[in-house]
């Protein structure tokens, strides 16, 4: 098998990966910043700079590829999933083009697109996965590789390039599975994708930002990548909520992570709190050698595996550029002239008609008997106010699920409510002037206890004074009868010294628990 070339154009890095039968032959990374800092004139277009840099890098590393699979970040593409009724193939293109107008801010004629349809038999609907790219953006990428003399065999969404690792690990091929990929070191977009039996039904791109952005806004960020980690956790919660609202009948059975080790411990604890099953994919098991974790590399390598790891996704934006209109991937169009070349015997046709008539009469008599039996069963049904007796089993199941959700919500309001007015008032009056809270959470534990956690900082220029101030704050909370009635156990979890800019401050964590 010939070498395969995959190139990922990320927000900060361009990753070039050459592989052969899953083995990495070459890996190059080109920072996008180097394109602006190159010796070429500032007014030279970016695609011209990319051609010049690619020509030099490919030559130096002896990469002589004739074909390439291009992986693009979400900012270059339009990726949407939506539901349609089950339609004939001949009507799908028109229906999809009409429906997608709701989701794009410009004319359908301005984009090149492709889509794939998956039939959801349980919901009796078609789930459409739509991918589009603006014509001028597509032309830019095709022009780059035309000048390099390399044929672009496919342009794909980078989150779908990563899906090949699910195939390699044999995870996520069955059931409803969410895949989360993130990198604590690079400023590459993280991805959240949900698959239903291997077919993507939901996807989001997540920007985790950087410490530089936090500094510009004047926020005090914790050391390392904790700010990005907290944002990732928040975005996972938001993504799960979006998915459950869009597909209320689908329950996520597993959450799979592709991330570096620095996130693993916190994400394991986070998923246990969410009470969701989870798994981590060891990328280095499939790469064949350990190296620094890089999400942009993984996306480029995933693209290079297009020939080796067969995917159920048949989307191809480059083929749509030449065909001029989208096709329905995985579905066969209605043919014409299917009797051409076949000799017809009239006697066989008459015999076939007689057999069809006989079968039809027999089936009609059976249907009539069954219908009478069904009518008798329906007439014996108990009448329930507010429920239509003509509903199908699927519709009745949805009604039942809606009622259970409402009951659960009411139950949560009655049993798990926590009153905040009193503790908030006490905290506001007790907190010293040189102390500030930066994190506050109140929740009900499984053993029916209220658990309040407070994190904050205090700065006095002296660590001992700062510790005494934290103890003073805790003492005031314990002395207040209204607060101690709610929280019997009030204690300091930790007080740590951390450098923030030019100053050293004390970060504290206080835990309060008790029954209402």
Q: Give, as one character, the DSSP assignment of residue 198.
A: T
The CATH number assigned to the domain with range 172-280 reads 3.30.420.40
Question: Which segments of the chain have a pLDDT < 50?
Answer: 211-224, 322-343
Q: What is the distance in angstroms between the CA of the first residue and the CA of the last residue of the chain?
A: 68
Distance between CA 79 and CA 129 in Å, rounded?
7
Residue 220 confidence (pLDDT): 38
pLDDT in tens, 131-144: 999 999 999 999 99
- Which DSSP string do the residues of 215-271 spell out, in sequence order? HHTT--PPSTTHHHHHHHHHHHHHHHHHHHHH-TT----EEEEE--HHHHHHHHHHH
Instruction: Compute the C-alpha angle 513/463/456, nearest 5°.
Output: 40
Residue 143 confidence (pLDDT): 92
Q: Which two tokens stand for residue 439?
A: 């994190």
Extents of the domains making up the chain:
1-170+290-334, 172-280, 421-514
Q: What is the second-level CATH architecture of the domain 1-170+290-334?
A: 2-Layer Sandwich (3.30)
Residue 218 confidence (pLDDT): 42
Distance between CA 250 and CA 156 in Å, rounded?
26
* Residue listed under structure tokens 């209320």: 248
Residue 214 confidence (pLDDT): 42
Distance between CA 28 and CA 7 in Å, rounded?
9
CA atoms within 13 A on the CB side of 510: 28
Q: Is 437 exposed, middle or buried (0-12, 13-18, 19+ CB in 10 A)?
A: middle
Q: Fold match between 172-280 and 421-514?
A: no
Q: What is the CB neighbour count within 10 angstroms for residue 169? A: 18
Distance between CA 109 and CA 111 in Å, rounded?
6
* Cβ-based neighbours of 391, under 8 Å, separated by 6 or more: 399
The 10 Å CB-count burial string (b at 16+, else e) for 47-64 is eebbbbbbeebbeeeebe
The CATH number assigned to the domain with range 421-514 reads 3.30.980.50
pLDDT in tens, 368-403: 888 888 778 777 767 676 667 666 777 778 878 888
Nearest Cα to Cα of residue 309 among 326, 327, 338, 286:
286
Distance between CA 330 and CA 322 in Å, rounded?
19
Distance between CA 284 and CA 388 in Å, rounded?
56
* Residue listed under structure tokens 């270059």: 76
Instruction: Compute the C-alpha angle 476/481/486, nearest 5°.
Output: 100
pLDDT in tens, 411-460: 766 655 556 788 888 888 889 988 989 888 888 877 778 888 999 999 88
* Cβ-based neighbours of 161, under 8 Å, separated by 6 or more: 6, 8, 71, 299, 300, 302, 303
**What contacts 24+ positions apart, CB below 8 Å, involve 212-215?**
none
Nearest Cα to Cα of residue 294 among 305, 307, 283:
283
* Residue listed under structure tokens 């459950």: 244
Distance between CA 476 and CA 494 in Å, rounded?
18
Q: Which two tokens stand for residue 129?
A: 């996965």
């Amino acid at each position: 098998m010939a070498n395969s070339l995959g190139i990922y154009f990320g927000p900060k890095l361009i990753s070039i990966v050459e592989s052969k039968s899953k083995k990495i032959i070459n890996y190059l990374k080109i920072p996008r910043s180097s394109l602006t800092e190159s010796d070429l004139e500032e007014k030279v277009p970016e695609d011209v700079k990319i051609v010049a840099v690619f020509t030099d890098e490919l030559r130096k590393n002896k990469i002589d590829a004739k074909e390439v699979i291009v992986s693009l970040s979400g900012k270059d593409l339009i990726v949407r999933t939506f539901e349609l009724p089950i339609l004939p193939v001949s009507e799908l293109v028109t229906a999809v083009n009409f429906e997608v107008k709701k989701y794009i801010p410009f004319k359908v004629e301005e984009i090149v697109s492709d889509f794939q349809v998956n039939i959801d038999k349980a919901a009796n609907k078609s789930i459409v996965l739509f991918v589009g790219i603006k014509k001028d953006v597509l032309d830019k990428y095709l022009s780059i590789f035309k000048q390099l003399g390399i044929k672009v065999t496919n342009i794909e969404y980078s989150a779908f390039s990563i899906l090949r690792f699910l195939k390699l690990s044999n995870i996520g091929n069955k059931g409803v599975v969410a895949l989360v990929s993130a990198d604590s070191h690079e400023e590459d977009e993280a991805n959240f994708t949900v698959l239903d039996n291997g077919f993507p039904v939901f996807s989001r791109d997540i920007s985790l930002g950087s410490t530089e952005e936090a500094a510009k806004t004047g926020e005090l960020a914790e050391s390392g990548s904790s700010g990005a980690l907290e944002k990732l956790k928040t975005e996972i919660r938001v993504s799960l909520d979006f998915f459950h609202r869009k597909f209320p009948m689908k329950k996520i059975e597993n959450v799979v992570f592709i991330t570096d080790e620095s996130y693993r411990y916190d994400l394991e604890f986070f998923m246990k709190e969410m009470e969701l099953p989870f798994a981590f994919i060891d990328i280095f098991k499939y790469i064949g050698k350990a190296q620094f974790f890089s999400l942009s590399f993984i996306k480029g390598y995933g693209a290079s595996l297009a020939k080796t790891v067969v995917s159920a996704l048949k989307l191809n934006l480059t083929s749509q550029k030449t065909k001029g209109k989208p096709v329905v991937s995985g579905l066969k169009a209605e043919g014409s002239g299917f009797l051409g070349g076949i000799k017809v015997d009239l006697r066989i046709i008459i015999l076939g008609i007689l057999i069809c008539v006989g079968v039809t009469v027999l089936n009609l008599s059976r249907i009539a008997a069954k219908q009478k039996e069904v009518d008798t069963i329906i007439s014996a049904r108990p009448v329930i106010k507010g429920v239509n007796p003509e509903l199908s089993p699927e519709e009745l199941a949805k009604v039942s699920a809606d009622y259970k959700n409402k009951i659960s919500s009411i139950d949560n309001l009655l049993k798990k409510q926590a009153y905040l007015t009193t503790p908030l008032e006490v905290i506001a009056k007790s907190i010293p002037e040189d102390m500030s809270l930066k994190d506050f959470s109140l929740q009900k534990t499984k053993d029916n206890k209220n658990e309040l956690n407070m994190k904050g900082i205090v700065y006095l220029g002296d660590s001992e004074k700062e510790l005494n101030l934290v103890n003073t704050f805790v003492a005031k909370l314990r002395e207040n009868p209204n607060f101690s009635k709610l929280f019997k156990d009030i204690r300091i979890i930790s007080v740590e010294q951390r450098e923030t800019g030019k100053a050293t401050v004390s970060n504290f964590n206080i835990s309060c628990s008790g029954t209402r």
